[in-house]
Chains A and B, each alone.
Chain A
Amino acid sequence: MMKYEVIVVGGGHAGIEAAHATAKIGHETLLITGNIRNIGDMPCNPSIGGTSKGVIVREVDALGGLMGKIADKSLLQMKMLNGSKGPAVQCLRSQADKEKYPANMQNALLNQEHLTLKEGLVEEIITSQNKIQGVVLEDGTEIFCESLILTTGTYLKSNILRGSESTEEGPHGERRSNHLSDDLKSKGFKIIRLKTGTPPRLDANTIDYSKLKEELVDDVKYSFSHDEEARYEVSKQEKCYLVYTNELTHEIIKANLKKSAMYGGYVSGVGPRYCPSIEDKIVKFKDKEKHILFLEPQSMEKGSKYYGALYLQGFSTSMPRDVQEEMVHSLVGLENAKILEYAYAIEYDAIDPLQVKPSLESKIIENLFTAGQINGTSGYEEAAGQGIIAGINASLKLKNKEPLILKRNEAYIGVLIDDLVTKGTIEPYRMLTSRAEYRLILRHDNADLRLRDYGYEVGLISKEAKERLDFKRKEIKRIKKSIQKEKIKKECLVDIIDNARTMSIYELIKRPLVDMDVLLKVVPTFKDVDKEILEEVIIDVKYEGYIEKTYRDAEKLLRMESKQIPADIDYDKVQNLATEARQKLKSVRPLTIAQASRISGVNPADISILLVYLKKEYGKNE
């Protein structure tokens, strides 16, 4: 009988982090995937990071995950987004090589102790008394486990759609799982159908670049990893180009609308608002004369299927192939472009995330965890963030320890999971900075300060890395103290700031326009300080007022978080709750008053009623 402590089903970005985490912690782990060569594949856009997503990558890295390090090793280009805006919203985005990224990832996993990779399609799960026991493969093989993590991505009953053409397969013609979602349904899971899409890939040699605008490339080096320096050469980054739709494009789309899978009625899944097809954009924003598109390289590895194939970001469509030809050729610069791979929409089964606990364990079956698109999200980074948490919590459960639940004021990953399990979703969920109410303290630069201790505690972060972190903390504290006392003479400042006078470095940092460059000029001792540490000090001082306000707001949340709702509460006994609120509370079963207050449809009035009831029924336990 084959038995592992942990089985992970799926080798996408969620499955990788989950399997890597449990194996690294020391649990014998089996990762089952349809195709080992497809582990870490990037079926959609060729980039890792982006607004808010870039912070998630940093968080995964801070916790001890793989995504950031592998992305650093597979770069085509790296950019700091929102550089001109405040520190709260700066995020890294890399163009990742679609050949190198999976190859590097597979390499990392093959070298991971306690981890076994296996090819196969899981079609059933084995349970006993609502507790997970193992899985059944397509060929009938049974493999047993103590803990199971499902990260099936888009492969549950997936259909690829182009116009009226529909094929039962996953991305790249990979085989789909036909029965697993039915099996889950029969065991009490609510199955939802979601949809997403991807644009066409074009032959790089058939583009007229003279008609396109080049996107600017950053000239500063960055890395996602907290442990390794950036190694790429700034001047050797690959370029992206801007393309615009025009009147002709719009006419072609309007004339053929009914032929698209979406508008022809061939799709039942719900698509994401933030990732609309080009048809959607034209229908919903009639007045817009043109839409912006990006032409992005996918790989520089000669011999790769991605080499010389450009990704036309923003042009996702479910039109039939002939219409896609017409559409692409209507774009200026792409008149003669050859389509290497046609755009498609894909629909797939997912589970209702309201049936998932904040630990990512299922509410229905014990020791079953889910992460990534199966939980209704979209995006590599969102998947990875859930994957590492599912792995950590599967391990903690095996060790009979409390789960790691990141709060909304601790991590984007916390916001993501809380949103999912509290609000559910009807469309694939994508992270946005706007979703994080405490984003000023959930920054790119402080991911390690926020999360590394957790990673260390569970065993994903090495002792050396932990010591580096402690040193960083100490240094920040030391410098913050010294800048209060250390004064800069007026003479040194007259050429630099308005109304110069002798002032402390602390006061100087607070002045508008005083940044790292200015400080390095005026404060000689800063030259010896690590830039990361200095950056931390500058942000903390410069935005002190706002940061403190954010902490105060977060404390309010924590007070509400500390008001626990007993697991045995019977909402039918709470009188006067609005019907919708009662239903929502019964299905979500929030753990705290704070979580309850975030459920849409639960109003402040319902919360006060609930508070009164708790006080009455469960005594003065506040």
Chain B
Amino acid sequence: MEDTICAISTPIGVGGISIIRVSGNESIEIVNSIFKGKDLEKSESHTINYGHIVENGEIIDEVLVSIMRKPRTYTTEDVVEINLHGGIATTNKVLKILLDKGCRLAEPGEFTKRAFLNGRIDLLKAEAVQDVINSENEFARKLSVGQLSGKLSQIVRELKNELIGLEANIEVNIDYPEYEDIEEMTIVKIRDKLADLSSLLENMIKEANTGKIIKNGIDVAIIGRPNVGKSSLLNALLEEEKAIVTDVEGTTRDIVEGKMILNGIAINFIDTAGIRETLDVVEKIGVEKSIKKILEVDLVILVLNGNEELTKEDENLLEKVRDRRHIVFVNKNDLPKLIDLDSGICAVYGNTKDLNGLDALKREIVDLFNVENIDKKDFTYISNARELSLIEKVKVSLDKALSSLDDGVPVDLIAIDLRTAREHLGELLGETFDEELIDELFKRFCLGK
């Protein structure tokens, strides 16, 4: 815990300055040892100091250094931030000097982890901060910020309070059975309440998927026989949006060939390299694998050649995508139409040569994912797998309580399911909850001998 960590905390190569953040017991001492200017060890907390980073007497960069002494810092440890003017090379150079001086390179999210472990922020906030760091577009940032301000925390807390209220009432009936003036939590009352909560959770889970789209974007695979124009379509789409072709990891752990932003939502084109080799018999197994993978993305765009009749292979692919969210793009409509599609298949016609039909294709994507309406919603979605799985567990417990009620299981056992649900909510918030039920009992009810 006590080692000092450092990392570049601004995106590399974006913007004029970059910041290196250092946190830990020795952060001030280490930075001071490579800093020429004021003695940083004597400078007051929360000050910005002008000077130079030097190595062996040589000036590396002109910098501003922020000194923040514990505990009022992000990690609650001593934190130093170095604002550099240089580009990637200089920033990397300074980072290397810090590592040489005894800092350790921070793991992804380690500053936030320390903030959590040191008790400064709760788990939900920690996760939200992670998301801000990772978010790729404006909506994702809003979503993350919404969480940071505690919107999801608030919903979860409200849910938890509802449960505590219900439990407290059941517990009071158990601990003070002779108090006939206290509302008896009958099976009917509990069932109504639980049904409400369960449907609320169901909505949260549904919205979680929208949240995922905002945060991670939509993963799209473009598939089709060789030479139907998959690459041209991809390039045309990317070119038009002036998106950068990158090789960062996509959410499905596949290689993203390119990325465009549509109405503020990231569209990640997943590499489908495998499918291009379909003619090669040896690669058949690999292709099957690729196709399976393709079925895991959010959207499949199947490209067909409008200038050819449907082949057996086309039909196979059509069959494969039928139950998936998909768009059929019939390419090469600048050439005579030879294709004869089943009237049931809804397709977008166009050609990549004249950039024809691309707007219609995008329109189709926007409609399919209801992208236009997403920004009007309140961003209180569950946005990562851990949260989603806990919320799902809460729902499972409540549904179990509901079915047990129908089987005539007594309320004190139902309370076990409710307690489990509440524990998961507590876990979501990273809290303990031991005493809160008892406190609630005495706040709500007038009891005692």
Residues of A within 8 A of B (CB): 44-45, 51-52, 81-82, 84-89, 199, 215, 242, 272-276, 281, 284-285, 288, 290-292, 294, 313-314, 316, 423, 432-435, 437, 439-440, 512-513, 543, 546, 549-550, 575-576, 578, 581, 597-598, 600, 603-606, 608-609, 612-613
Contacts and interface: CB of A to CB of B under 8 A. Distances in A.
B1 A612 contact: yes
B71 to A, nearest CB: 9
A546 B413 contact: yes
9 contacts: A82-B177, A276-B448, A281-B446, A284-B446, A291-B181, A546-B409, A597-B432, A603-B432, A605-B430
Q: Which of A276, A316, A597 has the most CB of B within 10 A?
A: A276
Given A274-B447, A285-B446, A433-B175, 20 more contacts: A44-B449, A81-B178, A82-B174, A82-B412, A85-B411, A215-B178, A274-B442, A275-B448, A435-B438, A546-B409, A546-B413, A575-B1, A576-B117, A597-B432, A603-B431, A604-B430, A604-B431, A605-B116, A605-B117, A609-B117
Interface string B397-425: 00000000001111111001001100000
Contact of A45 (B77, B177, B419, B449): B449
A435 B411 CA distance: 16
Contact of A606 (B119, B178, B412, B441): B119
Nearest to A199: B449
Interface string B168-211: 00010111111111000000000000000000000000000000
Given A292-B179, A434-B171, A605-B117, A272 B448 contact: yes
B419 A85 contact: no
B117 A88 contact: no
B277 to A, nearest CB: 49
B435 interface: yes
Contact of A598 (B118, B412, B430, B434): B434
B177 A51 contact: yes
B54 interface: no
Interface in B260-308: none
A291 B179 CA distance: 9
A85 B178 contact: no
Given A285-B446, A434-B175, A440-B416, A578 B118 contact: yes
B410 A433 contact: no
B408 A512 contact: yes
A86 B413 contact: yes
A551 B177 CA distance: 27
A429 B70 CA distance: 39
Contacts of A600: 432, 434-435
Q: Which of B412, B432, B449 has the most CB of A within 10 A?
A: B449
B186 to A, nearest CB: 11
Nearest to B423: A553
B100 interface: no
6 A-B pairs with least C-beta separation: A86-B410, A512-B408, A273-B442, A285-B446, A86-B412, A434-B171
B425 to A, nearest CB: 14
A288 B446 CA distance: 9
A272 B448 CA distance: 9
B234 interface: no
Contacts of A575: 1-2
A513 B171 CA distance: 23
B175 A52 contact: yes
Given A284-B446, A435-B438, A578-B119, A292 B413 contact: no
A197 B448 CA distance: 11
B408 A434 contact: no
Nearest to B406: A512
A376 B8 CA distance: 55
Q: Which of B76, B118, B119, B175 has the most CB of A within 10 A?
A: B175
A604 B413 contact: no
A89 B174 contact: yes
Interface in B100-123: 116-119
B151 to A, nearest CB: 22
B132 interface: no
A313 B180 contact: no
A86 B409 contact: yes
B410 A292 contact: no
A513 B76 CA distance: 58
Contact of A85 (B116, B174, B449): B174
B413 A291 contact: no
A314 B416 CA distance: 30
Nearest to B439: A273
A285 B247 CA distance: 65
Given A432-B175, A513-B408, A440 B1 contact: no
A514 B353 CA distance: 76
Contact of B118 (A314, A550, A576, A613): A576
A604 B438 contact: no
A435 B432 CA distance: 15
Contacts of B77: 576
A505 B395 CA distance: 33
Contact of A88 (B175, B412, B431, B437): B412
Contacts of B175: 51-52, 432-434
Interface in B20-55: none
Nearest to B180: A292
Contacts of A88: 412-413
Given A82-B174, A273-B448, A546 B416 contact: yes
Given A51-B174, A288-B446, A605 B118 contact: yes
Contacts of B446: 276, 281, 284-285, 288, 291
A609 B434 CA distance: 20
A619 to B, nearest CB: 17
Nearest to A282: B446
A275 B449 contact: yes
Interface string B127-169: 0000000000000000000000000000000000000000000
Contacts of B174: 51, 82, 85, 89, 433-434
A178 B181 CA distance: 43
A581 B171 CA distance: 30
A293 B181 CA distance: 10
A87 B430 CA distance: 33
Contacts of A273: 442, 448
Contacts of A44: 449
A346 to B, nearest CB: 15
B449 A603 contact: no
A85 B442 contact: no
Contacts of A423: 435
B440 to A, nearest CB: 10
Contacts of B408: 512-513
Contacts of A543: 409, 413
A244 to B, nearest CB: 8
A84 B171 CA distance: 14
A423 B438 CA distance: 14
B416 A550 contact: yes
A599 to B, nearest CB: 9
A604 B117 CA distance: 9
Given A89-B174, A292-B181, A605-B117, A274 B1 contact: no
B422 to A, nearest CB: 11
A88 B180 CA distance: 21
Contacts of A272: 448
Nearest to B119: A578
Contacts of A608: 117
Nearest to A81: B177
A592 to B, nearest CB: 16
B441 A434 contact: yes
Q: Which of B118, B176, B179, B448 has the most CB of A within 10 A?
A: B448
Nearest to A314: B449
Nearest to B442: A273
A549 B117 contact: no
Contacts of A292: 179-181
B198 to A, nearest CB: 19
A576 B23 CA distance: 13
B333 to A, nearest CB: 61
